[in-house]
Amino acid sequence: MAVFGYGRVSTAEQTVDNQRLEVERAGYAVEYWFADTVSGKAHAAQRKQFAEMLSKLRARDTVVVSKLDRLGRDAPDVLSTIKDLATMGVEVVVLQLGKLDLTSPAGKLMLAMLAAVAEMERDLIVERTQAGLARAKAEGKILGRPSKTTPEQRQAMIDGYTKNESVSALARRYGISRATVLTVVKPSD
């Protein structure tokens, strides 16, 4: 009956220290700690450390996480992860929910609602990001990576290509890849 802790952060600049501290302050003596640095968009089973933790779990072990979204990328993934752990006989503690039996009817309802809210929050972030990009575009801002060539260079490439200059020669002359030359001389309109 071991206690496993799991934490996840999205970027290398972040740390799981606060999550671990939160678990320990809740009174759990974590024997095995696993942590991933991976986007929340990755399914639980696709996370290296989470998968390793799953391989070590036995019946009557406990998995403790600080928040529900650590257990999956969206509502179906979280529910599937909890169901799989319950099938293994593993108790799942989500500190954000308090001490709640996630396999009881009330626990399942609470879990489904919270997972759906977390998924909605992620969808709203995407929606706001898209709105911000659309506004920036409407304001005339150039989005994406800066061009490797000037408009004059691109026109010279087109002219050279129409005069049978090879793509390789153009790439060497302008210090860019053949693929970049081809996007200039043969646009995929």
Residues noted as catalytic? 10
| φ/ψ (deg, to 5) at 162 | -70, -20
Q: Which residue has the tokens 């490439």?
A: 157
CA distances to 69, 81, 142, 144 from 43, in Å: 11, 9, 33, 28
How far apart (Å, rounded) are the C-alpha atoms in residues 44 and 63? 14
CA distances to 53, 73, 122, 143, 178 from 127, in Å: 34, 17, 9, 17, 36
